[in-house]
Amino acid sequence: MFNTTPLTLPPQRIRIFSLPPWLSAFAVAVETALQCAELSKSPSKTEDVPTKLVAKAVPLPMTVRGHWFLSPRTEYSVAVQTAVKQSDGEYLVSGWSETVEFCTGDYAKEHLAQLQEKAEQIAGRMLRFSVFYRNHHKEYFQHARTHCGNMLQPYLKDNSGSHGSPTSGMLHGVFFSCNTEFNTGQPPQDSPYGRWRFQIPAQRLFNPSTNLYFADFYCMYTAYHYAILVLAPKGSLGDRFCRDRLPLLDIACNKFLTCSVEDGELIFRHAQDLILEIIYTEPVDLSLGTLGEISGHQLMSLSTADAKKDPSCKTCNISVGR
């Protein structure tokens, strides 16, 4: 789920997510459907995508409301031309306007709230668990011991999941799982990431001093759906990053992952019908858990490394883009 190659996404492009204002109020009179705009994605500008607007001839000024379904984190160029029907039935067509270039941004909090609502609808009942775990190859853990001071260091999140997720290529963290098998209550023995597993008691990463954020909801052309959650110690760098970008969840009462006090003891539960991907934003000391080899198979087909979201799935897509 993580790689070490940073994305070079200019920070100033993060918040823009609409067409330039003058486009939404461009005065033009047309009687039938006319090609009046072209949008082309960058960096490949060889393919023009025609867009049609329809309006009835009315006295100027007027507004033509056009709708473009734009993908987030994408560069576009836009040009406009107008056409007016003459008395002889012919159209007087203007030249193309000056081209305007702009870049759409990440999902805003309201978009993520829509994804969260969709995820809540299929989350299912809550199951108890007691450990977070990270699967990887033996060499990965050996490197952490010998070169990283026995610490699992945060990595830059890759581009898996929704294209507009604010965490992709921006947030550093250590990826963990917490799902258990419903019949045993234990982590599954199979893994798509490697045959070695580090397990750490849940309270080491998740407790009342930790904030929990919803980050994404997606699938990969399969029946399985994934939710990405972020655990960030309060006041940490990761917490400050998430505070302005991601919906904050109540750790004791939400549909995905909970930590609550029952009879003086911390009890942890996870959603049964979602595969949860947990990003912990701080380094993790290997001495706080246990490391061992699992007995199951390595199911590479379930890996989410740089996984692309299915844009046709009605369960996990929203209308603002993929």
Cα 98 to chain centroid distance, Å, stands at: 34
- pLDDT value of position 168: 92
Distance CA 20, CA 319 (A): 19
- pLDDT value of position 136: 93
- pLDDT value of position 304: 59
Distance CA 280, CA 236 (A): 11
- pLDDT value of position 145: 97
- pLDDT value of position 242: 97
Using only C-alpha atoms, the chain has a radius of gyration, in whole angstroms, of 24
- pLDDT value of position 124: 96
- pLDDT value of position 70: 73
For the chain, what percentages of helix, strand and coil (3-state, to nearest 5) are there? Answer: 15, 35, 50
Q: For the CA atoms of 27, 28, 29, 33, what is the dihedral angle to 10 degrees? A: -130
- pLDDT value of position 300: 53
Distance CA 29, CA 36 (A): 11
Q: Pick from 123, 140, 143: which is nearest to 272 by CA?
A: 123
Q: Pick from 64, 104, 115, 106: which is nearest to 226 by CA?
A: 115
Mean pLDDT by groups of 10 residues along the chain of 322 residues: 40 33 34 33 39 40 55 81 86 87 88 96 97 95 97 94 92 97 87 90 98 96 92 97 97 98 96 97 98 75 66 88 46
Three-state DSSP state, 282 = coil
For 100-134, letters b (16+ CB in 10 Å) and e give eebbbbbbeeebbebbbebbbeebeebbebbbbbb
Q: What is the pLDDT of residues 208-257, one digit of tens each?
A: 999 999 999 999 888 889 999 999 999 999 999 999 999 999 999 999 99
* E strand or H helix at 240: helix 237-243
Q: Which amino acid is at 128?
A: R
Distance CA 251, CA 210 (A): 8
